[in-house]
Amino acid sequence: MATAGTNLSDYDQEKLPDASGMHFGLVVSEWNHEITEALFEGAKATLLENGTPEDYITRVNVPGTFELPFGAKLLCHKDIFDAVIVIGCVIQGETRHFDFVCQGVTQGVAQLNHDYDTPVIFCVLTDNNIEQSRARAGGEHGNKGIECAVAAIKMAALRLSLQQ
C-alpha cells in the first residue's frame, strides 16, 4: 500500500514557496460528498495557511468524478489560475464502472496537463471501500487534499518562475 507508513498531511511549510499571490481553482465532485468535502477542506485550509487569500481560491462543483476534467478545462481556459486541483473519489463496486471512470478521469487530467500551461493536480481517491477513502480524507493516513494543495503550490511556483 502506497500510503502505509505515510501521513498525507505531513509537509514542511518552511520549504514551500510563498502562495500569497497565487490563484487556485478547485473542481470538486459532488459524488461521494462526505469524502470530497473533507478533501476540499484539507486543500483549502492548506492554501490559506500558506498565504493564499480566500478570494484567490475558486471552487467549482461538478456532478461526478468523470466530469472533473471538463470542469478543470473551463478553469484552465480562464488563464487566471496558477494551478487547478481536481477532487474526487471513486469506490470500487460490483461492476467495471469503477475502471472506466478511473481511466477516463486519469487520462483527462493527463491530457489537460499536456494541453495547457496551468498545472492540474490529481486529488482523486480510487479505493476499494469507503473505509479506505475515509482513512485518506482526514483519517489515519491523513488528508490527500493537503498533499495535493502542497503539490499545487509547488507546481504554481514552478510555472510562475519559468514565465519570467
Residues that are catalytic = 97
C-alpha cell belonging to residue 22? 497565487
Helix (H) or strand (E) holding 107: helix 97-115
E strands present in the chain: 24-29, 57-62, 83-91, 120-127, 137-139, 142-143
- Rounded CA separation 76/17 (Å): 22
